[in-house]
Copies of this chain bind each other. A is one copy, B any other.
Amino acid sequence: MREPREAIRAWLDLLGASNAIKKSVDTQLRSEFGVSISRFDILSALERAGPDGLRAGVLSQQLMVTEGNTTQVTAPLIRDGLVKRSTGRKDARIVIFTLTKKGEKLFSIMAAGHKNWVGSVFSDLSKSEIATFRKILRKLNIPGSTTQPGKDAA
């Protein structure tokens, strides 16, 4: 494949679709629940983690953002009583985030809406088309991405 013109078009299409879907989901989460997509992602990770919650560093890794960002985005969630922040009992450097009851309740409602919205975006695609789509995404050569097959450390 030495035809960068088509590659550029594909990249612009990919970026455009991603931005448009993200904006749509974000707008719906905000208007219905007053929560941005970034905050939703944090609630989602904490829900998956269960009652033990997640350390700040682990949460950041999972969301692929910096720790500074996690500190900032959790702040309003804590202020609003959706997330609890506690420090490690053995090691006081460690910070653990968990979902509060209120956070759990809100998240379960939001998750249903989110699932439906995303489902509707892909509703015109057959199961095999979705599989093809994901397969092609996996074939992209993204520099610095660890998601490549069989790329173990030397």
Contacts and interface: CB of A to CB of B under 8 A. Distances in A.
A18 B134 CA distance: 13
A141 B20 CA distance: 10
B134 A121 contact: no
B7 A119 contact: yes
A79 interface: no
A134 B8 contact: no
Interface string A101-141: 00000000000000111111111111101111110111111
A15 B18 contact: yes
Nearest to A136: B133
Please give the count of copies of this chain that the complex contains: 2
A110 to B, nearest CB: 13
Interface string A1-32: 11110111111011111111111100100000
Interface residues of A, number: 54
A88 interface: no
A143 interface: yes
Given A115-B4, A116-B4, A21 B142 contact: yes
Nearest to A8: B118
A8 B136 contact: no
Interface of A: 1-4, 6-11, 13-24, 27, 64, 115-127, 129-134, 136-145, 147
- Top 9 A-B residue pairs of the complex, sorted by shortest distance between their CB atoms: A4-B119, A18-B18, A7-B122, A4-B115, A20-B142, A7-B119, A24-B143, A13-B137, A11-B118
